[in-house]
């Protein structure tokens, strides 16, 4: 029935049938215990909702965005199952006895040899706290050996308990490790031999300097100033200096077109979609390590999305807004400006996830504008998203939603606690020892300056991202919808170049490797050493760089990550030339560079790079 006919049809009064009960009279109570209570008033419901959310938002500010209930639930799960496991308790008692004997034997050998004896336990490869020569001399070797044995026992105590959920086990083991780090002898000014030697040399001046550093950091934190040492880095001066023009702008993005650095360029331009949780210039840092500059010097026309830094008025912008106003709007602009039939699309971190969703929707709808898809430190399946998943559960997501609901966005600094905990020895304790106990300021480089230039995320978008992708993993299961219909990564037929990094705590390489399981196209996977950012910013000439690479065609059988490691070719140096060769083999012959902007088509030059959005704080 049409809307007009429905409007003309007279409304018939509803008459209760014999099967329908008449509403109860006012003031007459029902004897049915299952009967519903009268509905709450709208004002009471709204007030209670606001009160609950405001309370949780207040708590969230004091816990750096981490939900206490999530950790308490994990501890309760562990404690209850351990209490009901007498066999596990007996084994733990035996392990404690064995470790005490090992430590006693070590003390005896060290006393007899004057400290020159083999350790009874070796630190983990990534543990660099006790590598100095001073730690091998008594009594400091006894201290750190005892601590490592204690740490190992607690690892045994928090893992391998039948009945504890895997996520709770990981959370308890992780939390126990963080608590033990507080008591590490390396973090004590009275037990760290390097600090004691520094104190002797400076007559205690190191503590004076450390106290000054602590006061300065505290003042900067509360006044929202950048960390000390970043003043020497400025966007547009010695960061993000590759020449270019802003050729398109909407509410969410600026599109930068970079000047060609060669007389001829490949006909297929490159679109780079960075993550919106970071400023885009991670890929255009200093002149010597700029990926953008390197691509232009290799004969490519490069376009970069620069995301706006959202504020309270952008609270209702969702994932679909980011897709439409981000990569889709950029693709339209690039085609209008260059006239290119095909475009190489590249996504970094969350930008790669968004680009994968956009590419899947394009494949579903028959949009074949992509010549290739490159994913840098990107996840499309979040079922094993590493230690970051310790903080992503229903309790934590609800906690973050309430914090974002109050202010309209999530500031990256409010999640800094979680990222710092993931690498507490590197990001917190080592800095505390070096700057506050040794009294020395660590030099700041361009990557550290960029890392301090944080951004925000709108309430709706981040809530949708956490729930749909992290918590429910809808994209990998074919349940994520774009424009009312589901999309699947397996619809993509363009070749894929995927990069993982060996020590990535944000997008673990084994998680990024799942692109092989979800895709139905040729995949070239590169595994490079380094972390989430340093592994990607890996310019040619960078010391101590290596990578593994292997191409898997759509017809090849699946290799698990361990088998892939054995089969992949190990190469020394930067992975950038490997990627350029891959892009070049899928590009046409070099030709005259396209024009900059297209004012006649509605894409004029708006301003010089790096634009205005990257300057927003």
Strand ranges inside 553-604, DSSP E: 569-572
Per the DSSP assignment, residues forming a β-bridge with 550 are: 525
Q: Which are the contacts of 310, defined by CB distance < 8 A and separation ≥ 6?
A: 317, 409, 456, 457, 458
In what helix (H) or strand (E) does residue 110 lie, and over which residues does it extend? helix 86-113
DSSP per position, 310-373: --GGGTT--HHHHHIIIIIHHHHHHHHHH--S-EEEEEETHHHHHHHHHHHHHHHTT---EEEE
CA pair distance 57, 399, nearest whole angstrom: 7
- The H-or-E segment that residue 182 falls in is helix 166-182
Structure-token pair, residue 132: 């100095």
Task: Give which of 331, 330, 343 is closest to 267, Cα–Cα.
Answer: 343
Other Cβ atoms less than 10 A from the Cβ of 581: the count is: 10
Cβ partners under 8 Å of residue 257, min gap 6: 244, 245, 247, 301, 302, 303, 337, 596, 597
| Both structure tokens of 175 | 């939390």
**How many whole angstroms separate alpha carbon 521 and alpha carbon 566?**
22
Distance, in Å, from the CA atom of 32 to the CA atom of 444, rounded to the nearest integer, reads 71
Give the Cα separation of 232 and 315 in Å (integer). 33
| Dist CA 206 CA 194 (whole Å) | 12
User: CA–CA distance from 509 to each of 24, 267, 384, 558 (Å)?
Assistant: 63, 32, 10, 16
The Cα 437–Cα 199 span in angstroms is: 9
Angle at 358 between CA 289 and CA 401, to 5 degrees: 85
Annotated catalytic residues are 349
Q: Show the tokens assigned to 336.
A: 């209008």
For 82-85, which contacts have Cβ atoms below 8 Å and span 24 or more sequence positions? 82/157, 82/161, 84/163, 85/161, 85/162
Query: For 42, how many CA atoms within 13 A lie in the half-sphere containing its CB?
Result: 0
Euclidean distance between CA atoms 402 and 459, whole angstroms: 9
Q: Are 351 and 252 in contact (CB under 8 A)?
A: no
In whole angstroms, give the CA distance from residue 135 to residue 137. 6
Instruction: Compute CA 325 distance to the chain's CA centroid, rounded to the nearest angstrom.
Output: 22
Q: Where are the beta strands (DSSP E) in 467-575?
A: 481-482, 485-486, 496-501, 523-528, 546-552, 569-572
- C-alpha to C-alpha distance for 222 and 214, rounded to whole angstroms: 12
Token representation of residue 271: 């679109």
């Amino acid at each position: 029935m049409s809307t007009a006919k429905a409007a003309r049809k007279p409304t018939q009064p509803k008459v209760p049938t014999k099967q329908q009960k008449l509403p109860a009279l006012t003031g007459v109570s029902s004897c049915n215990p299952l009967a519903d209570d009268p509905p709450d008033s709208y004002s009471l419901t709204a007030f209670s909702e606001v009160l609950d959310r405001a309370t949780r938002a207040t708590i969230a500010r004091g816990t750096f965005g981490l939900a206490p209930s999530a950790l308490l639930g994990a501890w309760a799960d562990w404690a209850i199952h351990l209490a009901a496991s007498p066999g596990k308790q007996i084994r733990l008692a035996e392990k404690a006895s064995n470790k005490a004997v090992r430590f006693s034997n070590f003390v005896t050998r060290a006393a007899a040899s004057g400290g020159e004896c083999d350790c009874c336990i070796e630190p983990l490869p990534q543990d660099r706290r006790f590598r100095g020569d001073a730690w091998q001399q008594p009594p400091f070797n006894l201290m750190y050996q005892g601590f490592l044995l204690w740490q190992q026992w607690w690892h045994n105590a928090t893992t391998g308990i039948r009945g504890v959920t895997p996520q709770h086990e990981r959370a308890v083991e992780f939390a126990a490790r963080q608590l033990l780090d507080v008591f590490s002898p390396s973090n004590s000014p009275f037990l760290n031999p390097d600090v004691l030697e520094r104190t002797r040399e400076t007559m205690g001046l190191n503590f004076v300097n450390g106290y000054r550093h602590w006061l300065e950091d505290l003042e900067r934190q509360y006044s929202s100033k950048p960390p000390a040492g970043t003043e020497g880095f400025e966007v547009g001066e010695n960061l993000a200096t590759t020449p270019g023009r802003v050729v398109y702008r909407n509410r969410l993005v600026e599109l930068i077109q970079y000047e060609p650095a060669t007389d001829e360029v490949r006909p297929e331009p490159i679109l780079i979609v960075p993550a919106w949780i970071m400023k885009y210039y991670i890929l255009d840092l200093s002149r010597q390590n700029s990926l953008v500059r390197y691509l232009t010097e290799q004969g490519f026309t490069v376009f970069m999305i620069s995301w706006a830094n959202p504020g309270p008025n952008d609270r209702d912008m969702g994932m679909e807004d980011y897709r439409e106003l981000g990569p889709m709007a950029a693709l339209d602009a690039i085609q209008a400006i260059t006239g290119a039939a095909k475009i190489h699309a590249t996504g970094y971190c969350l930008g790669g996830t968004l680009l994968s969703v956009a590419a899947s929707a394009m494949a579903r709808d028959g949009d074949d504008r992509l010549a290739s898809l490159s994913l840098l430190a990107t996840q499309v399946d979040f079922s094993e998203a590493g230690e970051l998943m310790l903080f992503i559960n229903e309790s934590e997501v609800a906690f973050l939603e309430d914090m974002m609901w109050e202010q309209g966005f999530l500031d990256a600094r409010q999640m800094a606690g979680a990222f710092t905990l993931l690498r507490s020895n590197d990001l917190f304790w080592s800095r505390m020892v070096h700057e506050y106990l040794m009294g020395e300021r660590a030099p700041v480089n361009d990557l550290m300056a960029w890392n301090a230039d944080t951004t925000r995320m709108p309430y709706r978008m981040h809530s949708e991202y956490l729930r749909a992708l992290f918590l429910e993993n809808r994209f990998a299961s074919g349940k994520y919808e774009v424009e009312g219909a589901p999309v699947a990564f397996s619809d993509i037929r363009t070749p894929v170049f995927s990069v993982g990094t060996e020590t990535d705590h944000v997008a673990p390489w084994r998680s990024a490797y799942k692109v092989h399981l979800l895709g139905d196209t040729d995949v070239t996977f590169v595994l490079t050493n380094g972390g989430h950012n340093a592994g990607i910013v890996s310019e040619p000439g960078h010391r101590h760089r290596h990578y593994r690479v292997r191409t898997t065609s759509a017809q090849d059988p699946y290799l698990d990550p361990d088998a892939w490691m054995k089969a992949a070719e190990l190469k020394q140096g930067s992975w950038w030339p490997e990627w350029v060769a891959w892009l070049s083999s899928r590009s046409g012959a070099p030709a005259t560079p396209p024009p900059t902007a297209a004012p006649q088509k509605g894409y004029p030059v708006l301003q010089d790079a790096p634009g205005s959005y990257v300057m927003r704080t």
